Structure 1
Amino acid sequence: MEPWELRRAVEAGRAIASELGLQVDDVVVIHNSDRVALRLVPCEVLARVAPSGHLADSEFEVEVARRLADVDAPVAELDPRVDPRVHVRDGFAISLWTYYEPVGSEIASDDYADVLLRHHAALRQIDLDAPQFTDRVAGALREVNDREHSPELSVSDRELLSDTLGGLSAAISSETAGDQLLHGEPHPGNLLNTRRGPLFVDLATCCRGPVEFDLAHTPEEVGKHYAGADHSLIQRCRALNWAMFSAWRWRRVDQMPDREHWRVEGLNQVRAALDRCGLG
């Protein structure tokens, strides 16, 4: 968010928590993109604040968290002191979560695979109306194909992303017989190492697809420890995921920090992933 919008988001998060009886003496910005994560001190709440246009996504995330808590999934929990719902204030959708103090050690590949296996098992226990992974790909493809939405994307790079998104999405969906509920983006930034063990966050990306779609977001070594994974499919999903990532970065309205770097890096990663699949 721009500085002026971030200030409003911070005040909205502080106000909602205070109105609900939580003590807020200070606010620390943990993450700032098109949505922000705020640590509220000393009540130790993580407030996730998004523009109200993302209200449906925030409500979906809260519902996913509520259902996964019932099956003891390895995910961050909503704050138990307040109602599990999304609050709207000053043009922002705000949800309140337990804040987990991170521990310093890096999560080993086998532990990463184990927690993802347990998360997938928990996701199979809940009944949830979630989009297919192909719906998310289609959204990225619309951004690429709309020159008004991505005006700075060159002709050749637009063709690369369009062909990758459309071709791989169709091929993967036709080749995989089964799918299940997935986290959607279980990359290292969405896996916290806490005193309770590794916990997944950012549940709004939950979708249906092959487990390899999730594994493609993790470090390369993780897939080697995940029983039954199709490693060729992981590589194709990795190329697809980088193409989606790149599509979001080239949107005119994208607010990811260091966006210019990630625009270039994303396209480089797409080409490298396609080469590894023999599709370059």
Structure 2
Amino acid sequence: MEPSELRRAVEVGRATASELGLEVDDVVVIHDSDRVALRLVPCDVLARVAPLGHLADSEFEVEVARRLVDVDAPVAGPDPRVAPRVHVRDAFATSLWTYYEPAESVIAPADYADVLVRHHAALRQVDLDAPHVTDRVARALREVNDRGRSPELSDRDREYLGGTLSALGAAISAEGAGDQLLHGEPHPGPLLNTRRGPLFVDLATCCRGPVEFDLAHAPEEVAEHYAGADPGLIDRCRALNWAMFSAWRWRRDDQMPDREHWRVEGLHRVRAALERCGPGWVR
């Protein structure tokens, strides 16, 4: 966030928690991007504060978390001292979560796979209306195909990226017999190593698709410990993930730091991932 917006978000997080009876003497910024994560002390709450444009995502995230906590999923849940809901104040949406003390150890690939297996098992117990992976692909394609949305993308790269998204999206959709609810983006960032064990956060990315789509976000060694996963499908999902990542970087209003580097690097990663998929996928 811009510094002035961040200051407002911090104050909104503080005020929201205080009005709900939680003691807040200090606020520590844990993460700052399009929305911020704040540790409120001494009440030890994690406040997630986002502009109102993210209200629907924030509400969806709280609902996903509430249902997963009920089935003992390995997720960070809403703070039990307040109702699990999103609070709107001063053009921001705030949700309040349990704060977990971090552990100093590194999550080993086998442990990463284990928590993902347990998370997938919990997700199979939840009845939730969530978008399919291919809905994400469709959104990425709209960015690529609309010159007004991605004016700096060259014609050659536009054709390459659009063709890759279409082909991979269709291939993964055709393999949909094993689709289930997924985390959506379980890369190392949303997997907290806590004293209670590894816990997933950032649940607003929940979607439907093959478990290989989630595995494609994790470090490559993790798949070796996930029984029954299709290595070829993981490769195709990894290429699709990089294609979508690249599409977002070419958006006119993308705010990712070092965007110019990732515009070039993203396309390079797409080509490298497609080569791993085999000769039929090299474009």
Normalised to the residue count of structure 1, the TM-score between the two structures is 0.96
Query: Which residue matches 1:46?
Result: 46
In 2: Cα distance, 1:182 partner to 1:5 partner = 32
CA RMSD of aligned residues (A): 1.2
In 2: Cα distance, 1:269 partner to 1:82 partner = 43
1:137-163 CA-to-partner distances (Å, cap 9, x unmatched) read 111111111222222222222222211
Percent same amino acid at aligned positions? 83
* Displacement after TM superposition at 1:174 (Å): 0.7
Over 3 Å counting, the alpha-carbon distance change for 1:26 and 1:258 in structure 2 is farther
1:146-197 CA-to-partner distances (Å, cap 9, x unmatched) read 2222222222222222111111000111133221000000000010000000
Q: How does 1:190-209 map to 2 (within 5 A)?
A: 190-209=190-209
1:49-81 CA-to-partner distances (Å, cap 9, x unmatched) read 111111111111100000000100000010111
* Displacement after TM superposition at 1:4 (Å): 1.9
Amino acid at match of 1:257: P
Amino acid at match of 2:70: D
Q: Secondary structure at the match of 1:95?
A: strand
Query: Which residue matches 1:62?
Result: 62
Amino acid at match of 1:64: V
In 2: Cα distance, 1:148 partner to 1:36 partner = 29
Query: Which residue matches 2:124?
Result: 124
Are 2:2 and 1:15 aligned?
no
* Displacement after TM superposition at 1:258 (Å): 3.0
Are 2:282 and 1:252 aligned?
no
Over 3 Å counting, the alpha-carbon distance change for 1:101 and 1:129 in structure 2 is same
* Displacement after TM superposition at 1:3 (Å): 1.8
Whether the 8 Å contact between 1:34 and 1:256 is mirrored in structure 2 is no
The gaps in structure 2 that reach 5 residues or longer are none
Query: Which residue matches 2:89?
Result: 89
Whether the 8 Å contact between 1:27 and 1:38 is mirrored in structure 2 is yes
Query: Which residue matches 1:240?
Result: 240
Are 2:145 and 1:140 aligned?
no
In 2: Cα distance, 1:220 partner to 1:21 partner = 45
1:247-273 CA-to-partner distances (Å, cap 9, x unmatched) read 122222222233333223222211110
The gaps in structure 1 that reach 5 residues or longer are none
Q: Secondary structure at the match of 2:177?
A: coil
Amino acid at match of 1:89: R
Normalised to the residue count of structure 2, the TM-score between the two structures is 0.95
How many residues align? The count is 280
Whether the 8 Å contact between 1:45 and 1:98 is mirrored in structure 2 is yes
In 2: Cα distance, 1:48 partner to 1:261 partner = 29
Q: Secondary structure at the match of 1:177?
A: helix
Query: Which residue matches 1:79?
Result: 79
Query: Which residue matches 2:273?
Result: 273
